[in-house]
């Protein structure tokens, strides 16, 4: 009997810790699996996904920049993937792909469980409106945050995400250039990939108060500029995305294998080796 094939698909993706994380989960639960990283450009995503299925692939995680394209490639979507308009977990069912999104559940579980944050009624700023932001926004609203402000370099994407979330009295798209007018937030989340290329947006320190938790959905070197800004601004908490990565991976693992692994030992092992972490899923 062949070992089921799984993968993380992105561009770039060689840095990804997902193969290491899923291998650790498999060892923990004595589940044999083959999990690899597949790098593919945006225009080749559908062809790559088809080739992966033809070679025995039964499940995949999807990372930058393919999460919204993955949603369009699916025959069916879970409710949370439909709300997000983005997919980070694919499962082959009857020869067709089913899409889900575990990013939001992973983030909330990390912030509330591992870091002990009470998210209820927190005035929240979400920086970015791409696949990562779309994955976490619905779960944050469900977790009880207060008003959600969304800013993005391209304001049309912020408007589109706000419209998709469908809570006009609670979700507010705004211009990135107007950040200095916003006042303090209880929760600031960086969901951009800007630090990969042209640097972190110019963020005023007035966004941060004594209670503020600042969270970067990236991990490793990519998260350093935002977390450094947060600490310099006096944020109460400055949290990288490693914990979220492990938790969303555990949610995907449970969807594929029917059992949720213990994330704490895997997270602890990765923290011990955090000097070798490079970038973000």
Does the annotation flag 63 for ligand binding?
Answer: yes
**98 and 109 co-located in one domain:** no
Does 278 score more than 70 pLDDT? Answer: no
Does the annotation flag 152 for ligand binding?
Answer: yes
Does the annotation flag 103 for ligand binding?
Answer: yes
Confidence of residue 275 (pLDDT cuts 50, 70, 90): low
Does the annotation flag 131 for ligand binding?
Answer: yes
Q: Which residues pair with 77 in a beta bridge?
A: 99
How does strand 124-127 pair with strand 148-152? Answer: parallel
Phi, psi dihedrals of residue 32, rounded to the nearest 5°? -80, 130
180 is catalytic: no
**96 and 108 co-located in one domain:** no
Concatenated DSSP letters of 103-131: HHHHHHHIIIIIS----TT--EEEE--SH
Q: Report the range of poorest mean pLDDT among 97-101, 116-120, 274-278.
A: 274-278
Query: Which has the closest alpha carbon to 204: 171, 185, 234, 180?
Result: 180
Residue 48 lies in a domain: yes
Range of the domain at 201: 104-242
What pTM value is reported for the model?
0.94
Q: Is 217 helix (H, G, I), strand (E, B) or coil?
A: coil
For range 117-144, the mean pLDDT: 97
Active-site hit among 5, 15, 66, 67: 67
Residue 281 lies in a domain: no
**93 and 128 co-located in one domain:** no
**145 and 86 co-located in one domain:** no
Does the annotation flag 16 for ligand binding?
Answer: yes
What's the CATH number where 221 sits? Answer: 3.40.50.720
**37 and 158 co-located in one domain:** no
Residue 62 lies in a domain: yes
Q: Alpha helix locations (H) across the chain?
A: 18-29, 45-54, 67-72, 79-84, 103-109, 131-142, 155-165, 224-233, 242-257, 263-272
Does 280 score more than 90 pLDDT? Answer: no
Domain tally for the chain? Answer: 2
What's the CATH number where 31 sits? Answer: 3.40.50.10860
Does the annotation flag 106 for ligand binding?
Answer: no
Q: Report the range of poorest mean pLDDT among 158-162, 167-171, 212-216, 276-280.
A: 276-280
pLDDT digits (tens, 9 = 90+) for 34-43: 999 999 999 9
Q: Residue for token digits 């080749």?
A: 44
Does the annotation flag 167 for ligand binding?
Answer: no
**177 and 214 co-located in one domain:** yes
**123 and 232 co-located in one domain:** yes
């Amino acid at each position: 009997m062949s070992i089921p094939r799984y993968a993380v698909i992105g561009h770039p993706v060689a840095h990804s810790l997902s193969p290491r994380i899923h291998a650790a989960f498999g060892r923990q639960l004595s589940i044999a699996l083959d999990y690899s990283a597949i790098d593919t450009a945006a225009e080749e995503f559908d062809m790559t996904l088809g080739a992966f299925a033809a070679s025995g692939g039964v499940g995949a995680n999807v990372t930058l920049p393919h999460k919204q394209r993955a949603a369009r490639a699916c025959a069916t979507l879970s409710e949370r993937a439909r709300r997000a308009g983005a997919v980070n977990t694919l499962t082959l069912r009857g020869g067709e792909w089913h899409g889900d999104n575990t990013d939001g559940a992973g983030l909330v579980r990390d912030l509330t469980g591992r870091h002990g944050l009470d998210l209820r009624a927190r005035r929240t700023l979400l920086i970015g409106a791409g696949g990562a932001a779309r994955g976490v926004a619905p779960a944050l609203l469900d977790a009880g945050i207060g008003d959600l402000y969304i800013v993005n370099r391209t304001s049309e994407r912020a408007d589109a995400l706000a419209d998709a979330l469908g809570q006009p009295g609670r979700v507010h798209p705004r211009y990135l250039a107007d950040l200095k007018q916003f006042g303090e937030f209880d929760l600031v989340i960086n969901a951009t990939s800007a630090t990969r290329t042209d640097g972190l947006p110019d963020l005023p320190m007035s966004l941060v108060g004594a209670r503020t938790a600042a969270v970067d959905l990236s991990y490793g070197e990519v998260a350093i500029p935002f977390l450094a800004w947060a600490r310099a601004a006096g944020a109460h908490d400055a949290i990288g995305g490693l914990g979220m990565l492990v938790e969303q991976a555990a949610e995907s693992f449970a969807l594929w294998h029917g059992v949720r692994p213990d994330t704490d030992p895997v997270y602890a092992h990765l923290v011990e080796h955090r000097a070798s972490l490079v970038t973000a899923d």
